[in-house]
Amino acid sequence: MKLPPELSEWLNLLARWFHVFAAILWVGSTFYFTWLDGRFQEEEREAKQEGDADPEVWMVHSGGFYVVGKRKTPALKRLHWFRWEAASTWLSGMVLLTLLYYHGGLMVDAFVRDMGAWAAGGFGVGMLVVGWVVYDLLVQSPLGRNEKAFAVVAYALIVGAAYLSTHVLSARAAFIHVGATLGTIMFLNVWNGILPAQRRMIAAVKEGKAPDPGEGARAKLRSKHNTFMVVPVVFTMISNHYNLVLGHEYNWVILSALVLVGWVAAKIVRRA
């Protein structure tokens, strides 16, 4: 069913506005806690040298001074969860993907591959599903405990996804679906990996048991992966404005290279 142009335009505008704002909240909180964790590592090193028991991070913002402490065991008090930013970003992104691509007719380019809209849509959804399943299996495998080896394999898979998608879908759809696959992994990392681990730690404390430190380590690993995926995702969100990249014969090579640039940028931000 084709939507009236005016309705489609309004839905596009509102969904895009909501999506960008939600993404700002999600990315901002992700990098804030990444920065905060880095500062605690510095404070912990100094605390050991000076004999302090509880390192703290002091900050100033909006006319006030804030002091933050870090605990590895949750207290049975009110916890402030950062989860709806991820859900609202992903859900609004899927609304946009449906409006503009699955319903908007931007999936197919006959010069790339002459195929039906349903087949192209199935390929796109398949990328999201397969991307998450492969990533999740890799993280839980022994490879997930080797940071460098995991990065090499993950990058090879991203290059493969970039090549395959740009030879099946239109360039715009290919770039967006590589980004949407990474965004889906990020979202499911939060809701299927990080939050359940944190809930199990809280449940252990309520039962009077010591929480498993491995749960925290696994959640932190997935959160770290999210900080590296987010910069390439932001690029794919804005890539449709740059025909110089989309229309290039080796657009998949450019996309693959820019993913590496995004990883380097994330590495710099994590250490800032």
| Chain segment 203-233, per-residue pLDDT in tens | 888 888 888 888 888 888 999 999 999 999 9
Please give the residue range of the domain that contains residue 217: 5-32+84-271
Q: How confident is the model at residue 57 (pLDDT cuts 50, 70, 90)?
A: confident
- Within-domain flag for 44: no
- Within-domain flag for 175: yes
- Which residue in this structure is represented by tokens 């489609």? 8
- Within-domain flag for 248: yes
- Within-domain flag for 197: yes
Sign of CA dihedral 12, 16, 19, 21: negative
- Within-domain flag for 67: no
- Within-domain flag for 204: yes
Count of structural domains, the chain: 1
- Within-domain flag for 13: yes
31 within 8 A of 267, measured Cβ to Cβ: no
pTM of the model: 0.89
Mean pLDDT of the chain: 88
* CA-based nearest residue to 169, from 117, 100, 104, 128: 117
- Within-domain flag for 129: yes
Q: How would DSSP label each residue in 152-196?
A: HHHHHHHHHHHHHHHTTS-HHHHHHHHHHHHHHHHHHIIIIIIHH
> Tell me: the pLDDT tens digits for 157-183?
999 999 999 999 999 999 999 999 999
> Tell me: the pLDDT tens digits for 7-43?
888 888 999 999 999 999 998 888 888 888 888 888 8
